[in-house]
Amino acid sequence: MANKKSVGHAYNVDFLNVVFAASSLFLFFTTIWMVFDDFDREWKGYQRQFVLLEGYVTSLSLQAAQAGIDQDRLQQLNAERAAAEQELAANGQRVAELESQLADVEADFYLANQQYNFLKADYDVERYAYEELQEEHPEEAAELRPAIDDMYDRWVELGMRVEELVARRDDLRAQIGEFTGGVADADDEIGELTAEATRLAALVEDLQVDFVGDVLLNAPLLDFMAPSLTVQQTITPNVHDELNFIRFQKMDRCRTCHIAIDREGYEAYPQPYTTHPRLETYVGSASPHPLATTGCTVCHEGMGQSIGFVHSSHTPETEEQMHAWEEQYGWEVPHLWDYPMLPTDMTEASCAKCHTETVYVDEAENLNLAYGLYERAGCYACHTTTGFTDLRKPGPNLTKIASKLSPEWVSSWIRDPREVKPSTWMPRVWYNSNTSSPEDAVRNEVEIDAAVAYLFANSEEHDFAVLFPPRGNAERGQELVESVGCLACHITEDQDRLAAGTRRTFGQPLQNIGNKTSYEWLFDWVRDPTHFSSETYMPDLRLTNREAADIATYLSTLTGPDGRGAEATYDDGEVTAVLLDYVRSILPTAEAEELVGGMSLDEQRIDLGQRVIGRYGCFSCHEIAGFEGAQPIGIELSEEGSKLLPRLDFAFVHDIPHTKVEWFKQKMRDPRAFDRNRVLQPLEKLRMPDFEMSEEESKLFATAIMSFQSDVQPLAAKPPRSARNDALRDGRNLVRRRNCIGCHEIEEDGGDYVALVDDPSLAPPMLTPQGAKVKPDWMYAFLQGPIPIRPWLDVRMPSFGLDDAHWNGVIDYFGAISDTVGEFRTHDILSAAAVPREGEELFDLLRCQQCHVLDTIPADQPTDNLAPDLRMARERLQPDWIVDWLRAPLEIQPGTRMPMFWTDFPASPYPQLDSDGPRQLEAIRDYLLTFEGGPSPIRGN
Amino acid sequence: MEAIKGLFNLVADPRLFFLLSVVALVLIVWKREAFAKLSVGYGLMGFLTAFFLFGLFDENFVLIIAKPDNVPIVALIFLVVFFTWYSMREAVLNDQRVAAGEDVIEKQESDRVWVWPDLVYTELIALVLCSAVLVVWSIALEAPIEQPANPANTPNPSKAPWYFLGLQEMLVYFDPWLAGVVLPSLIIVGLMAIPYIDTNPKGNGYYTFNERKAEITIFLFGFVILWSSLIVLGTFLRGPNWNFFGPFEYWDVHKLEALNNVQLSEYLWVRGAGTALPDNILVREGVGILLSLAYVTVLPVLLAKTVLKRYYEKMGPTRFYVGAFLFLMMLSLPIKMFSRWLVNLKYVVSIPEWFFNI
């Protein structure tokens, strides 16, 4: 271009100035915004708030501490101090003189001590030089030797001087102390009296908001130096997260907001400031799960490293809470972390992560309840689950069904079990949410009839023990059922199964049993359950034939509705069609048609029945001929709680939050729900049966499932494997799986029977201290052949017929509870003559025989006052335990009627043996042990 | 309301979306004088704004648009549309001036400016503005910490970074070695080769369309349609399982698409000749191989002798053949897309035995 123009402007500079000004302002304000945004972080707000709360709470406890000071004592001490001060003032001149001397001595001592230390350092240097030279050039070293020795001597000399000065100093101090001692003692005592108040006062002072510490250092832009508002994190050495097959320590920053979680005194304040509700078990530094090593998220789950409410994956407990959180925090379903927090009432699911040494976890009430339900519902039968293997099939044995039930009854029962027995755990297999349309009815009926046909066609004969059983008295039968102990495992009335509890639904609910089966069968069963089914868990109550007849007569009067009738009729062609549908799923159509065509209608029905039972997995819960060794139909659940969300298919169910917990709950509420709106062939449909769980039940089952976690935590996080822990695990399993805790309270669980009797003393005893109390050989004999300990009780200890391995397990379990497992303890049994006379005196004085049986049952006492025959003590009780029991019965067994005679132990209100409590106890014990001839399981009563 | 959403969902179908984009490009180039009008520019921006405002009332739309990662892509849509329109408008205005015998606008400005304030001052302003925007961006669009990536639990859909989404879209139509290795390499090589292929000095330093019709059209096709709009499509319209979802559609993982695609060899042998596929791989895939070879060897020569004779003469053989090769490689993507959509063609050459598919 030839016509080059002069240099010009591409932009209007005035305009640029305006743009520059505007963009500078923009940058200025965004910078302010940035600083403010950092200043305004959620957690900083909580911490600022907490500073004020902490000051307030501390000043409250200061007030309490001040009010708690003994004012009289304080006045007295102050007076003493004033007197001592006067005395000191009187000797003022002498004290001043001594103090001046002390000052001189201390100055000398300081100097001497310094020289002493310096010389030692110099000496060490020289000595090393000498030693080294000695090694390299011994001839030169010899010259140095005298100088070294000289240094050493001087050093020793200085040491002596230091010692002398110390002695003089201490002497002077002691002399001064004689004059000032009174004041110092008074000060000490006053200090001790007001220590807590003084400490708190200093703390309150410290917590006052001050300009530098609380304002300046936390000010925007200055808070990079040493802010007092900081992220609080716990890195847990032994509790791990697993990601990408790598395990690393958890980093929990929850305490950044939940700042007082491990401190007492904030129980009354709302989240996030509140104290952990169970500080003695969790988080507290003295608890078994201290914050510093356990952290938070191993139990609660959630994203520990996050410090925002939403991102840390809080999970609401209820829908209302969810909506409230959406309003307040902009909460949304967590998707940044695979393991969002558990709703607080499901947190116990996490116990199982580390407590792999046991199934039932001590104190985890919700979890144990959930596991109990898991067993009752028989989930483990279809779904293999670690911890729940080797259990019996949860349903009754069906191999002899024809002798017990009629086909009609079975049809209406399986059509809808809860129509017949509202409390049953038997689920409904047909007519569920995906098989309830009118088109499904025919197929449902065909399948039901086929399954029933198969069961009856394969039923064995049953040999009734008594061919023509006598009839009994229904009223007496009812009394027996209500008194001997049947109700510990069975309910007879319509009751919500969750309210009835896991223990009382251990046996089949007895509602409607009169409709179900014949009098002959009931008699045969009640008389001896193992005669019908050798593997039954129903124990033997040692009923006479007469009692069995009474009970059977009573049970046949328990009748109720007939259940749901058939909802469709069909012709024979339908059976063939359904069977063909089944067979075609495994064989080519031509072969299938040939196979089915070669069968008679009855054969078709029975063959279909077998396939139906196989498909729905009836054999998982029931013993059924032809299915021995068949694999359970459900997926394994041992690590289901660790499953990742994308592995769970929500299909078209959009009305629940898409979280794991909600998926499991939905599956419990309606196991077929995820078929909703889907077009499926009959054999493609979901087939888990419907337990018709309530909201509460579905939550508990979800808790159980969430507790089935993959094993990630390192050994150091877990309680150690030990013989004692194994005994505890096996024992806890056994007492639940045989329903011992239906009658007996053990380890603060169970003991439902107490609610069924008029007075707690008429119920089966609490057994927690049994290991310390009873001798193992006696216990073994008793379990093998129980004898009445308290003959006035109606309820009976049944005979369980377990093998030695189980009984030894029970004995070890009780030993493990009291930590006395495997201990043999010698105790000399004194002859009556050798026992001090005072034993008998005290025995009479305390009137033990007023309640305790001694051969004869005291006649004038109400039954709830009676206590066991003392003649059994010698064989039955551990001598050490008798002493403990006499001393403080309420500590061992809360609620016992045994009086506590030594309220001021070891002092004693009784004059015998110089009022020496321990000796008195032993004397009584020794006297008791001389009794002989009581009932005994060892000698066969 | 629902009908409008349904319409947008329909239009966003990749087939229609692509077709309409091409039609739009043709219209822009053809009716550029109308396109360059201020009213069209305002209209376009207004329409885009209205569309996004309308979308804000839809739950599913907001879910995907307001995802912090995706917000800048929304800005990208506005920017690409605006600058396409703006450059076209400037070009049209200059072309009109040239036609009227005047100088282009840029000629009237001085060709030298002061370093201060024109350069340094504007740079400073840009610096300040960029800083401010970055600050606002980092405050407003949060990037929370997540758990470490878990190869056993990959996200669905797994998406490439936004600038690679165009490449990822190619994976739908090509074997990974082509879509992931050969074509990206050719894009880079091709971009480097442009100054050597296109030696036309016209249009340097000023906007024009008439003087560079083919170049600009090819660029618009390659950049706006094959690159930018595929990024937009990959960001907003590809959901779980890389299935296509309309902007107002719920991202349901269960949505299915039947991928019943057929190899060229199957068309020829099984459907055409009614015989089984030959065992000999080269016989089986012979036609496909020949077609592919012809596409890059015979077709350029044919083009040089026929429709593009003018260019061949102008550019000389080397430039022409290199340019034609790159252009044909670019075109292979839409060709493959259309043959997939129209006749369910899976691969032209399919030799899984050798891990070789075209």
Q: What is the pLDDT along chain B (358 residues), one digit of tens a residue?
A: 889 999 988 888 888 888 899 999 999 999 999 999 999 999 999 999 999 999 999 999 999 999 888 999 999 999 999 999 999 999 999 999 999 988 888 888 777 888 888 889 999 999 999 999 999 999 999 888 888 887 777 888 899 999 899 889 889 899 988 998 999 999 999 999 988 988 888 888 899 999 989 889 999 999 999 899 889 999 999 999 999 899 999 998 888 888 888 999 999 999 998 899 999 999 999 999 999 999 999 999 999 999 999 989 988 999 999 999 999 999 999 999 999 988 999 999 999 888 888 8
> Measured between alpha carbons, how far is A684 from B175 in angstroms, rounded to an integer?
35
Residue B129 touches chain A, beta carbons under 8 Å: yes
Give, in order, the Cα–Cα distances in Å from A477 to each of A482, A546, A559: 9, 10, 15
Contact residues of A toward B, CB < 8 A = 1, 4-11, 13, 16, 19-20, 23-24, 26-27, 30-31, 33-34, 37, 243-245, 303, 305-306, 308, 311, 336-338, 644, 646, 651-652
| Inside any domain, residue A779 | yes
Cβ <8 Å between B110 and A337: no
CATH code, domain carrying A923: 1.10.760
> Measured between alpha carbons, how far is B194 from B214 in angstroms, rounded to an integer?
13
Q: Tell me which of A592, A621, A650 is where a domain ends.
A: A621
Residue B114 touches chain A, beta carbons under 8 Å: yes
Q: Are residues A801 and A842 in the same domain?
A: no
Q: Are residues A810 and A844 in the same domain?
A: no
* Minimal Cβ distance to B135: which of A7, A23, A34: A34
> Measured between alpha carbons, how far is A843 from A841 in angstroms, rounded to an integer?
5
| Inside any domain, residue A577 | yes
Q: Are residues A758 and A904 in the same domain?
A: no
Please tell me the distance in Å from A26's CA to the nearest CA on chain B: 7
* Minimal Cβ distance to B139: which of A9, A34, A651: A34
Please tell me the distance in Å from B127's CA to the nearest CA on chain A: 10
> Which chain A residue has the Cα nearest residue B63?
A332
| Per-residue model confidence as pLDDT tens digits over A556-578 | 999 988 888 888 999 999 999 99
Question: Exposed, middle or buried, A39 (CB in 10 Å: 0-12/13-18/19+)?
Answer: middle
* Minimal Cβ distance to B122: which of A16, A305, A338: A16
| Inside any domain, residue A351 | no
| Inside any domain, residue A498 | yes
Structural domain that includes position A813: 722-817
8 A C-beta contact, residue A158 and residue A119: yes
Query: A747-784: string of b/e by CB count within 10 Å (b at 16+)?
Result: bebbbbbbebbeebbbbbbbbbbbbbbbbbebbbbbbe
The count of residues in chain A is 941
Q: Are residues A490 and A591 in the same domain?
A: yes
A297 contacts on B by Cβ (under 8 Å): none
Residues 6+ apart with CB under 8 A from A718: A354, A355, A356, A357
Q: Tell me which of A754, A782, A817 is where a domain ends.
A: A817
| Per-residue model confidence as pLDDT tens digits over A54-75 | 999 999 999 999 998 888 989 9
- Low-confidence stretches of chain A (pLDDT < 50) are 1-3, 941
B156 contacts on A by Cβ (under 8 Å): 646
> Which chain B residue has the Cα nearest residue A313?
B146
> Measured between alpha carbons, how far is A887 from A881 in angstroms, rounded to an integer?
10
Q: Are residues A856 and A813 in the same domain?
A: no
| Inside any domain, residue A531 | yes
CATH code, domain carrying A790: 1.10.760.10
Cβ <8 Å between B110 and A5: yes
Residues 6+ apart with CB under 8 A from A393: A378, A381, A620, A621, A622, A623
Give the number of other Cβ atoms within 10 Å of residue B345's Cβ.
19
Cα pseudo-dihedral B183, B186, B190, B193, rounded to 10: 180
Cβ <8 Å between A16 and B125: yes
State residue A4's pLDDT score: 52
State residue A69's pLDDT score: 87
Cβ <8 Å between A16 and B112: no
**Closest-CA residue to A317 (of A292, A294, A300):** A300
Whole-model pTM: value is 0.87
Task: Calculate ∠ Cα B93-B96-B102, nearest 5°.
Answer: 105
Cβ <8 Å between B111 and A308: no
Strands A234-243 and A745-746, how do they pair?
A: unpaired
- Scanning chain B, the segments in alpha helix (DSSP H) are 2-11, 14-30, 32-35, 38-55, 59-65, 71-99, 105-108, 120-140, 165-170, 176, 183-197, 213-219, 229-232, 264-265, 281-296, 298-305, 309-315, 317-343
Q: Are residues A498 and A565 in the same domain?
A: yes
> Which two structure tokens, joined as six digits, stand for B310?
């003018």
Cα pseudo-dihedral B52, B55, B56, B61, rounded to 10: -110
Q: Are residues A109 and A153 in the same domain?
A: yes
State residue A378's pLDDT score: 94
Cβ <8 Å between B121 and A7: no
Interface predicted TM-score of the whole assembly (ipTM), two decimals: 0.85
> Which chain A residue has the Cα nearest residue B106?
A10
Q: Tell me which of A149, A172, A193 is where a domain ends.
A: A193
Task: Calculate ∠ Cα A323-A324-A329, nearest 5°.
Answer: 105
Query: A428-446: string of b/e by CB count within 10 Å (b at 16+)?
Result: bbbbbbbbeeeebbbbbbb
Q: Are residues A409 and A461 in the same domain?
A: yes
| Inside any domain, residue A746 | yes
Q: Are residues A798 and A741 in the same domain?
A: yes
> Measured between alpha carbons, how far is B252 from B243 in angstroms, rounded to an integer?
10
What single-letter DSSP state applies at residue A254? G
Kind and range of the H or E run holding A252: strand A246-252
8 A C-beta contact, residue A583 and residue A683: no
B130 contacts on A by Cβ (under 8 Å): none
| Chain B stretch 272-331, residues whose beta carbon is closer than 8 A to a beta carbon of chain A | none
Task: Find where tokens 């030089």 sit.
Answer: A129
State residue A939's pLDDT score: 66
> Measured between alpha carbons, how far is A777 from A875 in angstroms, rounded to an integer?
9
State residue A1's pLDDT score: 39
Kind and range of the H or E run holding A283: strand A282-283
Residues 6+ apart with CB under 8 A from A726: A357
| Inside any domain, residue A567 | yes
| Inside any domain, residue A505 | yes
State residue A2's pLDDT score: 41
**Closest-CA residue to A578 (of A544, A612, A547, A549):** A612
Kind and range of the H or E run holding A745: strand A745-746
Number of domains within chain A:
4
Q: How many CA atoms lie within 13 A of A799 on its CB side?
A: 14
Q: Are residues A588 and A471 in the same domain?
A: yes
State residue A5's pLDDT score: 56
What is residue A496's three-state secondary structure? coil
Q: Are residues A582 and A434 in the same domain?
A: yes
Q: Are residues A491 and A558 in the same domain?
A: yes
* Minimal Cβ distance to B150: which of A19, A26, A244: A244
